[in-house]
A = this chain, B = another copy of it.
Amino acid sequence: MVEYVRVYVDELRRFTSECFMKCGVPKGDADIIADHLVLANLRGVDSHGVIRIPVYIEGIKKGYVKSFSESRIIKESMATVLIDGGGGLGIPIATKATDLAIEKCRSVGLAAVGVRNLGHVGMLAYYTLKIAKNNLIGLVTANGPAIVVPWGGIEPIFGANPMSIAFPTSSRPIVIDMATSAMAHFKILLAALKNEKIPEGVALTKDGKPTTDPREAQLLLPFGGYKGYAIALTIEVLSSILIGGQLSKYIVLHGSTQGGFFTLAIDPTVFREYSEYLKDIDTLIKFIKSCKPAQGFNEVLLPGELEDKTFEERLRKGIPIDINTWKMLTEVAKELNIESPKTL
């Protein structure tokens, strides 16, 4: 039985921003981080929500990330930008990089922006949603500390290496956001806390033996066998090798660290009238939503559909914070001498 405290959305944003400002983060950046983490909670992606506040603060204290740094453009061409993040907190830098990708894409029709040397960038859907809300298709990837083995191997080479893709539609964008590991690292930690087993084919012990015990799980398998391995490898190349970010093997294992951040934006109007694009993607959505469900399924879901529903609900009812996270947050509040978020 997990207990929850329900918190006002605006209050959680105010609290998050104040936390980071107290740690030396400029107001503009702190507001971006608050907007980001609270959006993750609103979408039900609690692993990337305010639970990260103490993690990022620890990262600052331990010197893994800087509370403030001047990120700078180190290479630029018509359709591309390369940014050095200066080792700063990842979310504000990645947000600016995404804005640049949108701007470039608007003028060229196609744009790619890479950022090396930055902290954890959070929930990738934050960036692709931003791109999709500008009527562009967005792809975002990042690599992280090595915990995933290649197919057929038992040493960690890749991070959980997530990717997000968003497609604008005539209503909500379709939003894919997924790790390329078979299971999210966070879910394994959660299973350990709850004394539950994890499925077979998801994780290995540190000696490379298959395990269903989350406390023994030290290595993760890629999702989808050798095909998922190929996708994890692709994300490794785009997020680190292509843009000079750290290889996953070299990244410090901490919740505040990241390798590189890569984003690509495509303007559908370089190929078609936007209305034609919309008509066809709406048709695809109709096919999917009217598809007869398999046994055990009530309906066929679009990627991101569940998160959209959670978003609507939490926007109305406030954000539930589990009691353990709530305790951590109130401790942070006390330590930094700021007011805890008001509960409903």
Contact = CB atoms under 8 A, between A and B. Distances in A.
Contact of A237 (B77, B114, B284): B284
Contacts of A153: 288, 291-294, 297, 300
A97 interface: no
A242 B135 CA distance: 12
A124 B338 CA distance: 57
Contacts of A198: none
A240 interface: yes
Q: In the complex, which range does the number of interface residues on chain A fall in?
A: 35 or more
A152 interface: yes
Contact of A233 (B208, B223, B226, B303): B303
Given A109-B79, A178-B230, A247-B280, A150 B270 contact: no
A270 B109 contact: no
Contacts of A157: 284, 287-288, 291
Give chain A's interface secondary structure class.
mixed
Nearest to A298: B152
Nearest to A80: B270
A23 interface: no
Contact of A110 (B79, B150, B178, B280): B79
A40 interface: no
Given A82-B270, A82-B271, 7 more contacts: A77-B108, A79-B108, A151-B300, A154-B292, A154-B294, A247-B280, A247-B283
